[in-house]
Amino acid sequence: MKFLGLAICLGIIAGAAATVGIHLFFDVNSLLFVLGGATGFLVMKNDSGKHIANFGEGAVYFGWLGTLIGLIAITGNRFSNWGDVDKMGPALAVAMLTILYGYSVKLITIVLAEA
């Protein structure tokens, strides 16, 4: 039942993404940031009984940290897009992807940790 629930949750996310354009939800740098941070968090916690749960927890933390870093880069005018609506929209979308990735990984690890 847990895997069915996970499939339903991920299906809802994928369905919502497909309605606005699935291509908008892929950014390799954001995904690597979340997965790399989650791996570092896992190593840092060093709790042999909770590897999967710690990985998911780290993914959420680094999802939020990635968004904060992205917002700082945008508002700090790192990409010369402050005030340019055509550039700011995509930059904000990429900045928020890390949260989506973090919580998606967390959903998967919840099921795997209890399986």
62 and 33 in contact (C-beta within 8 Å)? Answer: yes
- What is the model's pTM? 0.88
Q: How many CA atoms lie within 13 A of 113 on its CB side?
A: 16
Residue 61 amino acid letter: Y
Length of the chain: 115
Alpha-carbon distance 47 to 63, whole Å? 21
pLDDT, one tens digit per residue, over 55-112 is 999 999 999 999 999 888 888 776 666 677 777 778 888 889 999 999 999 999 999 9
pLDDT, one tens digit per residue, over 24-49 is 899 999 999 999 999 999 999 988 78
